[in-house]
Amino acid sequence: MTILEVRNLHATVEGKEILRGIDLTVSPGEVHAIMGPNGSGKSTLAQVLAGHPAYQVTQGSIAYLGKDLLDLDPEERAREGLFLAFQYPVSVRGITNAYFLRAAVNAVRKARGLEEYDPIDFLEILQAKLKTIGWDDSLMNRPVNEGFSGGEKKRNEILQMAVLEPTLAVLDETDSGLDIDALKTVAEAVTRLKRPESATILVTHYQRLLNYIIPDRVHVLLEGRMVKSGGRELALELEARGYDWTRPEAAVA
Protein backbone atom coordinates (compact mmCIF):
# COMPACT_ATOMS: atom_id res chain seq x y z
CA MET A 1 0.00 0.00 0.00
CA THR A 2 1.26 3.51 -0.67
CA ILE A 3 2.03 5.44 2.46
CA LEU A 4 1.10 8.87 1.24
CA GLU A 5 -0.94 10.06 -1.69
CA VAL A 6 -1.32 13.84 -2.01
CA ARG A 7 -3.58 15.02 -4.82
CA ASN A 8 -4.01 18.59 -6.06
CA LEU A 9 -3.51 20.00 -2.57
CA HIS A 10 -4.35 23.64 -2.03
CA ALA A 11 -3.91 25.26 1.37
CA THR A 12 -4.24 28.75 2.79
CA VAL A 13 -3.04 30.50 5.90
CA GLU A 14 -4.76 33.63 7.12
CA GLY A 15 -6.70 33.68 3.87
CA LYS A 16 -3.53 33.64 1.75
CA GLU A 17 -3.09 30.71 -0.62
CA ILE A 18 0.32 29.11 -0.05
CA LEU A 19 -0.02 25.64 -1.57
CA ARG A 20 -1.42 25.74 -5.07
CA GLY A 21 -1.86 22.21 -6.30
CA ILE A 22 0.58 19.67 -4.91
CA ASP A 23 0.83 16.04 -6.01
CA LEU A 24 3.06 13.59 -4.20
CA THR A 25 3.12 9.81 -3.86
CA VAL A 26 5.33 8.09 -1.28
CA SER A 27 5.69 4.31 -1.08
CA PRO A 28 7.22 2.11 1.65
CA GLY A 29 11.00 2.15 1.81
CA GLU A 30 11.32 5.42 -0.09
CA VAL A 31 13.15 8.60 0.79
CA HIS A 32 11.81 11.73 -0.87
CA ALA A 33 13.50 15.10 -0.81
CA ILE A 34 11.46 18.26 -1.17
CA MET A 35 13.61 21.21 -2.09
CA GLY A 36 12.87 24.80 -2.83
CA PRO A 37 13.92 28.32 -1.92
CA ASN A 38 12.79 30.06 1.26
CA GLY A 39 9.12 30.91 1.29
CA SER A 40 8.13 28.41 -1.37
CA GLY A 41 5.75 26.57 0.98
CA LYS A 42 7.80 23.59 2.18
CA SER A 43 7.03 24.10 5.86
CA THR A 44 3.42 24.80 5.02
CA LEU A 45 3.19 21.41 3.35
CA ALA A 46 4.84 19.78 6.36
CA GLN A 47 2.49 21.52 8.79
CA VAL A 48 -0.55 20.64 6.72
CA LEU A 49 0.52 16.98 6.81
CA ALA A 50 0.86 17.15 10.61
CA GLY A 51 -2.50 18.92 10.91
CA HIS A 52 -1.64 22.37 12.19
CA PRO A 53 -4.98 24.12 12.79
CA ALA A 54 -3.76 27.45 11.38
CA TYR A 55 -3.59 26.02 7.85
CA GLN A 56 -6.78 25.39 5.86
CA VAL A 57 -6.95 22.85 3.10
CA THR A 58 -9.21 24.39 0.45
CA GLN A 59 -8.90 21.79 -2.32
CA GLY A 60 -7.51 18.35 -2.98
CA SER A 61 -6.97 15.28 -0.84
CA ILE A 62 -4.39 13.48 1.25
CA ALA A 63 -4.58 9.73 1.73
CA TYR A 64 -2.33 8.22 4.38
CA LEU A 65 -2.19 4.41 4.54
CA GLY A 66 -5.48 4.42 2.68
CA LYS A 67 -7.19 6.73 5.19
CA ASP A 68 -8.32 10.30 4.66
CA LEU A 69 -5.63 12.14 6.58
CA LEU A 70 -7.66 15.34 6.69
CA ASP A 71 -10.26 13.56 8.81
CA LEU A 72 -7.76 13.02 11.61
CA ASP A 73 -6.74 15.33 14.46
CA PRO A 74 -3.01 15.99 14.81
CA GLU A 75 -2.75 13.54 17.72
CA GLU A 76 -4.54 10.86 15.74
CA ARG A 77 -2.12 11.31 12.85
CA ALA A 78 0.79 10.89 15.25
CA ARG A 79 -0.74 7.74 16.68
CA GLU A 80 -1.12 6.39 13.15
CA GLY A 81 2.62 6.78 12.70
CA LEU A 82 3.05 10.21 11.14
CA PHE A 83 5.90 12.24 12.54
CA LEU A 84 7.01 15.79 11.84
CA ALA A 85 10.44 17.02 12.91
CA PHE A 86 9.77 20.74 13.29
CA GLN A 87 11.85 23.34 11.54
CA TYR A 88 11.57 25.36 14.74
CA PRO A 89 11.22 22.92 17.64
CA VAL A 90 9.14 24.27 20.51
CA SER A 91 10.39 24.45 24.08
CA VAL A 92 8.19 23.10 26.83
CA ARG A 93 8.60 24.79 30.18
CA GLY A 94 9.12 22.52 33.17
CA ILE A 95 8.72 19.21 31.34
CA THR A 96 11.88 17.15 31.04
CA ASN A 97 12.78 15.39 27.84
CA ALA A 98 12.49 11.99 29.50
CA TYR A 99 9.02 12.81 30.84
CA PHE A 100 7.86 14.22 27.53
CA LEU A 101 9.12 11.28 25.50
CA ARG A 102 7.36 8.84 27.81
CA ALA A 103 4.13 10.86 27.66
CA ALA A 104 4.29 10.76 23.86
CA VAL A 105 5.10 7.06 23.63
CA ASN A 106 2.41 6.19 26.15
CA ALA A 107 -0.19 8.28 24.35
CA VAL A 108 0.54 6.32 21.18
CA ARG A 109 0.61 2.96 22.99
CA LYS A 110 -2.62 3.68 24.82
CA ALA A 111 -4.35 4.52 21.56
CA ARG A 112 -3.14 1.24 20.10
CA GLY A 113 -4.38 -0.73 23.10
CA LEU A 114 -0.89 -1.48 24.36
CA GLU A 115 0.22 -1.31 27.95
CA GLU A 116 1.79 2.01 28.98
CA TYR A 117 5.40 2.10 30.12
CA ASP A 118 6.24 3.02 33.69
CA PRO A 119 9.23 5.35 34.20
CA ILE A 120 11.66 2.50 34.92
CA ASP A 121 10.73 0.40 31.89
CA PHE A 122 10.80 3.45 29.71
CA LEU A 123 14.25 4.46 30.88
CA GLU A 124 15.58 1.11 29.67
CA ILE A 125 13.92 1.53 26.29
CA LEU A 126 15.29 5.02 26.02
CA GLN A 127 18.81 3.91 26.87
CA ALA A 128 18.63 1.18 24.24
CA LYS A 129 17.38 3.68 21.68
CA LEU A 130 20.13 6.14 22.48
CA LYS A 131 22.66 3.37 22.08
CA THR A 132 21.29 2.46 18.64
CA ILE A 133 21.87 5.97 17.39
CA GLY A 134 25.07 6.40 19.38
CA TRP A 135 23.96 9.37 21.48
CA ASP A 136 24.32 10.03 25.20
CA ASP A 137 21.58 10.88 27.69
CA SER A 138 22.83 14.36 28.58
CA LEU A 139 19.64 16.06 27.37
CA MET A 140 17.21 13.70 29.09
CA ASN A 141 16.67 15.56 32.34
CA ARG A 142 16.51 19.01 30.87
CA PRO A 143 13.19 20.65 30.01
CA VAL A 144 12.27 19.99 26.38
CA ASN A 145 14.29 22.29 24.11
CA GLU A 146 14.63 24.97 26.79
CA GLY A 147 17.94 26.71 26.38
CA PHE A 148 19.02 24.07 23.84
CA SER A 149 21.41 25.12 21.10
CA GLY A 150 20.14 24.97 17.53
CA GLY A 151 21.93 21.67 17.00
CA GLU A 152 20.60 20.17 20.23
CA LYS A 153 17.05 21.03 19.20
CA LYS A 154 17.44 19.28 15.85
CA ARG A 155 18.99 16.25 17.50
CA ASN A 156 16.15 16.21 19.97
CA GLU A 157 13.62 16.01 17.14
CA ILE A 158 15.45 12.99 15.75
CA LEU A 159 15.49 11.40 19.19
CA GLN A 160 11.71 11.80 19.41
CA MET A 161 11.43 10.23 16.00
CA ALA A 162 13.65 7.35 17.12
CA VAL A 163 11.46 6.68 20.13
CA LEU A 164 8.15 7.03 18.29
CA GLU A 165 9.20 4.81 15.33
CA PRO A 166 7.00 6.52 12.73
CA THR A 167 5.77 5.03 9.49
CA LEU A 168 6.15 8.37 7.73
CA ALA A 169 8.70 10.85 9.02
CA VAL A 170 8.73 14.39 7.65
CA LEU A 171 11.95 16.19 8.53
CA ASP A 172 11.59 19.93 8.02
CA GLU A 173 15.02 21.50 7.55
CA THR A 174 16.53 19.23 10.16
CA ASP A 175 19.87 19.92 8.49
CA SER A 176 19.84 23.70 8.67
CA GLY A 177 22.08 25.26 11.26
CA LEU A 178 24.06 22.07 11.77
CA ASP A 179 27.80 21.90 11.33
CA ILE A 180 29.12 19.07 9.23
CA ASP A 181 29.73 16.69 12.17
CA ALA A 182 26.28 17.26 13.59
CA LEU A 183 24.83 16.81 10.12
CA LYS A 184 26.55 13.45 9.80
CA THR A 185 25.30 12.21 13.19
CA VAL A 186 21.76 13.23 12.33
CA ALA A 187 21.98 11.64 8.87
CA GLU A 188 23.39 8.43 10.33
CA ALA A 189 20.62 8.27 12.91
CA VAL A 190 17.98 8.74 10.21
CA THR A 191 19.57 6.05 8.05
CA ARG A 192 19.81 3.62 10.96
CA LEU A 193 16.18 4.16 11.88
CA LYS A 194 14.91 3.36 8.39
CA ARG A 195 12.66 0.33 8.13
CA PRO A 196 11.43 -1.35 4.96
CA GLU A 197 7.82 -0.47 5.76
CA SER A 198 8.50 3.17 6.59
CA ALA A 199 9.27 6.22 4.49
CA THR A 200 10.95 9.58 4.92
CA ILE A 201 10.34 13.01 3.47
CA LEU A 202 13.31 15.33 3.78
CA VAL A 203 12.47 18.99 3.44
CA THR A 204 15.55 21.08 2.79
CA HIS A 205 16.84 23.94 0.76
CA TYR A 206 20.39 22.63 0.61
CA GLN A 207 21.61 19.57 -1.20
CA ARG A 208 24.18 18.98 1.56
CA LEU A 209 22.08 16.55 3.59
CA LEU A 210 21.44 14.49 0.47
CA ASN A 211 25.12 13.52 0.37
CA TYR A 212 24.45 11.50 3.50
CA ILE A 213 20.89 10.35 3.01
CA ILE A 214 20.42 9.27 -0.58
CA PRO A 215 16.91 10.16 -1.78
CA ASP A 216 14.94 8.03 -4.19
CA ARG A 217 13.04 11.03 -5.52
CA VAL A 218 13.74 14.77 -5.48
CA HIS A 219 10.98 17.33 -5.92
CA VAL A 220 11.22 21.05 -6.40
CA LEU A 221 8.58 23.15 -4.69
CA LEU A 222 8.24 26.68 -5.97
CA GLU A 223 5.54 29.18 -5.06
CA GLY A 224 3.29 26.45 -3.79
CA ARG A 225 3.64 24.08 -6.76
CA MET A 226 5.79 21.05 -7.46
CA VAL A 227 7.57 22.29 -10.57
CA LYS A 228 9.99 19.44 -11.09
CA SER A 229 10.64 15.89 -9.96
CA GLY A 230 13.54 13.62 -10.64
CA GLY A 231 16.15 11.34 -9.19
CA ARG A 232 19.11 12.18 -7.04
CA GLU A 233 20.88 13.96 -9.89
CA LEU A 234 18.23 16.71 -9.75
CA ALA A 235 19.53 17.74 -6.34
CA LEU A 236 23.04 18.07 -7.74
CA GLU A 237 21.78 20.09 -10.64
CA LEU A 238 19.92 22.42 -8.26
CA GLU A 239 23.10 22.81 -6.27
CA ALA A 240 25.00 23.83 -9.36
CA ARG A 241 22.37 25.97 -11.09
CA GLY A 242 20.11 27.29 -8.32
CA TYR A 243 16.32 27.30 -8.54
CA ASP A 244 15.59 29.93 -11.16
CA TRP A 245 15.80 27.60 -14.14
CA THR A 246 13.04 25.42 -12.67
CA ARG A 247 10.50 28.23 -12.90
CA PRO A 248 7.84 27.43 -15.50
CA GLU A 249 8.30 30.86 -17.15
CA ALA A 250 12.03 30.12 -17.50
CA ALA A 251 11.18 27.07 -19.60
CA VAL A 252 8.93 29.19 -21.82
CA ALA A 253 11.50 31.95 -22.28
Partner 1 sequence: MHWLGALRKQAITRFSQVGFPSTHQEDWRFTNVQSIAEGAFAIGTPAPNTLSEAQLNELAGTADHEPRLVFVDGVWSAALSRLSGLPRGVRVESLSHAVLETPEIVSRHLARYAKYQENSFTALSTAFLRDGAFVHFGRDVEWDHPIQIIFAASGSEGLAIYPRCLVVVEERAKAVVQELHTGAAGRYFTNAVTEVVVSSGARLEHCRIQRDAEDAYHVATTQSHQGPDSVLESCSVAFGAGLSRHDVGAVLDGPGAYLTLNGLSVLSGRQHADHHTVIDHAQPHCESHELFNGVFDEQARGVFNGRIVVRPGAQRTDSKQTNNNLLLSKEARADSQPQLEIYADDVKCTHGATLGPLDDTSMFYLRSRGIDVREARKLLTYGFGADIVGRVRSEPIRRDLNRMLVDRLSRLPMGEMPS
Ligand X SMILES: Nc1ncnc2c1ncn2[C@@H]1O[C@H](COP(=O)(O)OP(=O)(O)O)[C@@H](O)[C@H]1O
Residues that bind partner 1 (CB under 8 A): 50-54, 73-75, 77-79, 83-84, 86, 89-90, 92-96, 100, 103-104, 107-108, 111, 143, 160, 164
Smallest distance from partner 1 to CB 184, Å: 26
d(CA 182, CA 36): 23
CB of 43 to ligand X, least distance (A): 3
Nearer to Mg ion, 87 or 198 (CB): 87
Window 56-95: contact mask with Mg ion (x via CB under 5 A): -------------------------------x--------
In this chain, which of 43, 156, 185, 207 binds Mg ion, going by CB under 5 A? 43
Q: Is 81 left (phi over 0), alpha (psi -120 to 50) or beta?
A: left
Interface with Mg ion (CB under 5 A), residue total 3
**Shortest gap between Cβ of 41 and Mg ion (angstroms)?**
8
The amino acid at residue 42 is K
Distance between CA atoms of 9 and 79, rounded to whole angstroms? 23
Minimum distance, C-beta of residue 90 to partner 1, in the bound complex (Å): 4
Can you give the three-state secondary structure of 10-47, one letter per residue?
EEEECCEEEEEEEEEEECCCCEEEEECCCCCCHHHHHH
182 contact choice in Mg ion, partner 1, ligand X, none (CB below 5 to 8 Å, kind-dependent): none
Per CB under 6 A, residues contacting ligand X are 13-14, 18, 36, 38-44, 54
**Between 68 and 73, CB nearer to partner 1:** 73
53 binds, among ligand X, partner 1, Mg ion, none (CB under 5 to 8 A by kind): partner 1
20 or 184: CB nearest ligand X: 20
Applying CB under 5 A, the residues found at the interface with Mg ion are: 42-43, 87
